[in-house]
Chain A
Amino acid sequence: MIFAVMAALLVTMVLALVRAFLGPDLYNRILAINMFGTKTVLFVAVAGFLFGRPDFLDIGILYALVNFVAVVAVLRLTHHDEPATGRNGDGHS
């Protein structure tokens, strides 16, 4: 059953990558990469169980942290003026 879950996760990762390449503009890509990151967390957890190495889960926890910070950082990068100064979004792009 764990093999089935790993296969499903791999398929979803490929679909997310396809959406990341196809995605018309920035936000579709960020969404796809965010979903890809979450699936990587699950993949590491399931792989840890499959190979009998429960300490993989620490990597999963860390990756969930990094993934969240990455999404916030990218949004701050492309939206740098709005939250800091609180002005209404007249930014670029």
Chain B
Amino acid sequence: MIVLEIASGVLLAAGALFVISGGVGLLRFPDFYTRTHAAGLTDSAGAGLILLGLLLQGAGWETAVRLLIIMLFLALTSPTSTHILAHAARRDGVPVWREGDPRR
């Protein structure tokens, strides 16, 4: 039983780390396309780990089903939304950042 607690704690901590790293990356990266990497990182890795950690908290099977639904849905929609965003930006002519360009 104690192993579940430890595993859940480790997963939650890793998820929190990913989420914070994504947030900081969103501010520090110089360009829109690089920021999509940071945002995509937190959406997929951070959310997945946190929800997995919550899954191990040992709630009833109804909660587990809801958590799995959220995980599945986030895994499907966040890459899609990041893709259409980057596609729309590319179509709209947002210039790609090169080494040495000023921050945009």
Contacts and interface: CB of A to CB of B under 8 A. Distances in A.
Chain B binding surface SS class: helix
A34 B23 contact: no
Contacts, number: 140
Interface residues of B, number: 51
Interface string A12-45: 1011101100101101101110110011011001
Given A1-B9, A71-B85, A72-B84, A8 B20 contact: yes
Nearest to A91: B92
B89 interface: yes
Given A4-B16, A28-B35, A57-B63, A46 B54 contact: yes
Interface string B78-90: 1011101100110
Interface of B: 8-9, 12-13, 15-17, 19-20, 22-24, 26-27, 32, 35-36, 39, 42-43, 46-47, 50-51, 53-54, 57, 59-60, 62-63, 66-67, 69-70, 73-74, 77-78, 80-82, 84-85, 88-89, 91-94, 104
